[in-house]
Chains A and B, each alone.
Chain A
Amino acid sequence: MSNIFSGIKEAIKKFLSSTSPYEQSVEEFIRELQRILIKSDVNVKVVFEFTSKIRKRALEEKPPQGVSRRDWFIKIVYEELISLLGGEEELNVLPKKKPYVIMLVGVQGSGKTTTAAKLAWYYKNRGYRVGLIAADTFRAGAYEQLKQLAEKVGVEFWGDKGLNDPAEISRKGLEYHLSKKAEIIIIDTAGRHGYGEESKLIDEMKAIADAVKPDEVILVLDASIGQKAYDLAKKFHEATPIGSIIITKLDGTAKGGGAISAIAATGAKVKFVGTGEKVDEIEPFRPKNFASRILGM
């Protein structure tokens, strides 16, 4: 608990030692918490829902015998924060069945192609036979990018520059990898945000999912994304239900609060984080570390 709260130690100290009425101290603490979360790019509406839940519990719950109201409040904040992050437990990142088909989706430049290679590296090193599929027919050089990465990692690659239907590519790629006895198959798709003229790209994403029936759709989210993360994640989730989230570029200064918005919008959990450009710079998501990052202003 103390580890998570390291960034807001002062606020907690102030809260615990304040002589103002309890309700007022709660209000002050909540205001500070709101500010910190918003600065970390958590969606404003998500922040207000979160803090009103805390406020409600703070005013209604009776602490158990021997526990002060103020100590109890801090426990409430902790619990709610952890639940905002999708729980305390680290996820089991190994596939539940074999073969397992993963489809990566996300906004332009969020890191899908790189993450496809990182996942391939991660699972290959844990003994799985992995295959990659290049289903981005739009971005210049996307095919070469994934192919070069597949070679670097040392996994099977499938793509066909002669085809321009990503759903057909994905279906054929799946057949190819299954024939090679792949256990985990990862499909890289083109970037999209889906607003305005891009709405047809959402249909394209659905068509790929229809063609391969992925076991898991992963939303790849740039840590620097702002308020739009909520809306975007929701849009994606409605098109192809999001099974989990990967946050990339946590090696920069962005706090990554957009991931919290995406969790709220989809109900999905974060599985991995990306911490660099190289294929081995991927780690399973650790909720407590992430909470300290968000709060560690």
Chain B
Amino acid sequence: EIKPEDFDEIGNDFLLELVENDVAYSVAEEIINTLKNTIIGKRVPKNSDIKESIKEALVDFIKKNIPEPDLDIIEAIKNKQAKEKKPFIIIFMGINGVGKTTSIAKLANYIKKNGMTPLIVAADTFRAGSQEQLQVHADRLGVPIIRAKYNSDPASIAFDGIAYAEKKNIPVVLIDTAGRMHVDRDLINELKKIIDVVGYDLRLLVIDALSGNDSVEQAIAYEKNVGYEGFFLTKSDADTKGGVALSISVETKKPIYFLGTGQNYDDIVPFNKEWLIKTLLGEK
């Protein structure tokens, strides 16, 4: 039988291991406490490794608690077309430099490969070069784009984009927005206005897999101040160990839709728990 005192030291080492893999400290503590409760009192063969039991408990925990998307984007787009004849609206948001614009290009490519043409709306009217950046992607991918003038109102360009898509029967619209710190009230209000004006089917918060404890701050603040359905986790190719994926899903109970796994258009992978278990705990 595993006793609390057997658990504590190994549990603490395991907590540090999680933290070294960029699980946010608060989330790692929460997970360890949960695992402790499931493990203590459990009968295990003599001399068996408590750490192995903790790992197994974590795998169970992930299987039970980590959400996966409950909709297939391609199906959802088709359904909306069939039922309403209206474009499926996906809005990308997140703090500066996490990979919103690149991820839009990847998703546009993914949708194209599934036989549909998306419209891209360049509603980042602030960052230098943002319009040209998205134009290059649209040209290379051969998808239509609605551009804006720098410093113009992003909500009104998003509105124009939706109107264009409706007129042209384009089934899905991907809206790029400027990077915004979750604590910048004016910029967050501007984002809310965009969303109010055009509506949405899916709002994706883009989070950088290289980030540390702040990933959770971003996820919480965006949830409280804006709202979103799930995540796009970028830069997962940077030898990251899945800690950010675990943190944001445990903290918000919202699913990760896609992983960004490189800088090319094909570097996009639908998320699943098996990936997380493998990345976080090695082969299992």
Contact = CB atoms under 8 A, between A and B. Distances in A.
Contacts of B211: 222, 224-226, 254
A144 B135 CA distance: 12
A24 B166 CA distance: 70
Interface string A91-125: 00000000000000001111101100100000000
Interface in B173-211: 179, 181-184, 208, 210-211
Contact of B132 (A44, A144, A196): A144
A197 B26 CA distance: 33
Given A227-B20, A228-B238, A253-B182, A144 B129 contact: yes
Contact of B128 (A40, A148, A222): A148
B96 A111 contact: yes
A210 interface: no
A111 to B, nearest CB: 6
A118 to B, nearest CB: 12
Contacts, number: 151
B214 A140 contact: no
Contacts of A223: 214
A28 to B, nearest CB: 15
Contact of B19 (A44, A113, A147): A44
B248 to A, nearest CB: 13
Nearest to A109: B97
A145 B96 contact: no
A225 B132 contact: no
B106 interface: no
Contacts of A110: 97
A212 B183 CA distance: 40
B279 interface: no
Given A138-B263, A227-B21, A195 B239 contact: yes
Contacts of B239: 193, 195-196, 228, 231
Contact of A141 (B96, B133, B212, B215): B133
Given A152-B128, A226-B22, A252-B182, A108 B133 contact: no
Interface in A51-109: 107-109
A225 B212 contact: yes
Contact of B212 (A140, A142, A195, A258): A258
Contacts of A249: 95-97, 181
Given A142-B129, A145-B128, A193 B238 contact: yes
Contacts of B208: 109, 222, 224
A107 B238 contact: yes
A232 B99 CA distance: 19
B241 to A, nearest CB: 9
Nearest to A39: B25
Contacts of B126: 277
Interface residues of A, number: 50
B156 interface: no
Contacts of B53: none
B216 to A, nearest CB: 10
A144 B128 contact: yes
Most buried by B among A222, A252, A255, A257: A252
Contacts of B181: 249, 251-252
B136 A141 contact: yes
B16 interface: yes
B3 interface: no
Most buried by B among A108, A111, A114, A148: A108
Interface string A218-262: 000011111110011000000000000000010111110110000
A254 B134 CA distance: 28
Contacts of B131: 141
B212 A257 contact: yes
B237 A195 contact: yes
B244 interface: yes
Contacts of A258: 212
B54 to A, nearest CB: 18
Interface in B230-268: 235, 237-240, 243-244, 262-263
Contacts of B134: 140-141
Given A226-B210, A258-B212, A140 B128 contact: no
A254 to B, nearest CB: 4
B213 interface: yes
A67 B235 CA distance: 51
B210 A107 contact: yes
A258 B135 CA distance: 34
B19 A149 contact: no
B98 A44 contact: no
Contacts of A111: 96-97
A142 B136 CA distance: 11
Interface string B126-161: 111111111111000000000000000000000000
B217 interface: yes
B235 A224 contact: no
B237 A277 contact: no
Given A222-B210, A252-B95, 4 more contacts: A145-B130, A146-B129, A224-B211, A254-B212
18 contacts: A41-B212, A107-B235, A107-B238, A109-B235, A142-B129, A145-B128, A145-B132, A149-B128, A197-B262, A224-B214, A226-B213, A226-B215, A227-B20, A228-B240, A251-B181, A252-B95, A252-B214, A253-B218
